[in-house]
Amino acid sequence: MNEINSTITSPLIADGKLLVYENNGTHVRMLKATNAAYQDLGRAKTDAMGCSSPAIANGRLLVRQKDKLVCFDLRPAN
């Protein structure tokens, strides 16, 4: 497992998944939101600002980067 450094942001929970920034916003990790066991669902590079919190709307993750707002489509492919 990669070493993880925490950041000062609010975690996000949606659709039974917890999304948290890692390493000052360079990555976001998705975990299954359960108290039964730790289940890592994935990790993606976002280059987000570590001081901002992510937002989610209609299956899309919105993150603030240094000079722009970016959107990641989290909806399952059809």
Q: What is the pLDDT of residues 3-42, one digit of tens each?
A: 666 556 788 898 899 998 888 888 888 999 888 888 999 9
- Alpha carbon distance 13, 20 (integer Å): 9
Q: What is the pTM of this model?
A: 0.77
Task: Give the whole-angstrom CA distance, residue 28 versus residue 46.
Answer: 7
pLDDT at 1 over 60: no
Domains along the chain with CATH numbers: 12-73 (2.40.10)
